[in-house]
Amino acid sequence: MITQSNLIYRNLIISIYLFSVLWAKLIIPEYESKNWEVLHNQNPWIAWQNKDGIDWCRAKAIIDTPIAKVRSLIENKKNYPNVFERIEKVKIVNDDIVYIALDMPFPFTSRDYIVKYIESHSEKEFIYSYHSVIHSDVPETKNYIRLVRSTGEWKLSKIGDNRTEVIYTWNGELLGDFPDWALDRAWRQQGVEVFSWLNKALKK
């Protein structure tokens, strides 16, 4: 029988664990890193590597579109469900914290995450990085598996007036009911899908 004190203790342990997981800083692999295992050597290029126990994925391609147009699409997070077809809903919690829910292919449970975005830029380069946070306005639900260490980055680099190099990096952790043997296939599919949807949206 679970007593009230046991329940409080269990919830405290869970909270401490979640905060330790979320505040452990995940370092995205350097762009000069040579330790990538290629999954897709076409357009986009897609690869993965394990760094400090985290599976990282990276996809990159050069798009024949001015950087300003790519920026406007990446910055408009509220519109993500109309761009990235696997995103089924977005909630803007505040200016830089966003809740995103993902539809997973059958028979897998859908995933969701809450992330804080940080933007940095120079004259020819824009970086949109994000990392997981906890927010009381978006509690976990039984319909989604919460990706508690979701971390990633969009890097846009200007190549001439009408070309942009786009590099998308993300933590490949899927948790829950997703089998390890299928991860590299899922990472490759995610990279291909994201750039396919991105190109489709940029042509509108």
95, HSE (Cβ side, Cα atoms, 13 Å): 2
Whole-model pTM: value is 0.85
* In the predicted structure, residue 146 carries a pLDDT above the cut 50: yes
Contacts of 36 (CB under 8 A, 6+ apart): 29, 47, 48, 49, 58
Cα gap 193→98, rounded to integer Å = 21
Distance, in Å, from the CA atom of 139 to the CA atom of 199, rounded to the nearest integer, reads 33
Is residue 32 helix, strand or coil?
coil
Token pair listed for 90: 């977005």
Domains of the chain: 28-202 (3.30.530.20)
What's the pLDDT band for 23 if we cut at 50, 70, 90? very low
Could you give the CA distance from residue 72 to residue 76 in angstroms, rounded to a whole number?
6
Residue 18 has a pLDDT of 43
Which of 8-22, 28-42, 80-94, 168-182 has the lowest average pLDDT?
8-22
User: What's the angle, vertex CA 169, arms to CA 191 and CA 83, rounded to 5?
Assistant: 50
Which pLDDT does position 105 carry in this prediction? 85
* Per-residue pLDDT tens digits for 82-98: 999 999 999 999 989 99
Cβ neighbours of 1 (radius 10 Å): 3
Cα 23 to Cα 141: distance, rounded to the nearest angstrom:
22
In the chain, the N- to C-terminal Cα span, in Å, equals: 59
Question: What pLDDT score does 12 carry?
Answer: 40
Distance from C-alpha of 183 to C-alpha of 189, rounded to nearest angstrom: 10
Q: Which residue has the higher pLDDT, 27 or 4?
A: 27
- Mean pLDDT of all residues in the chain? 89
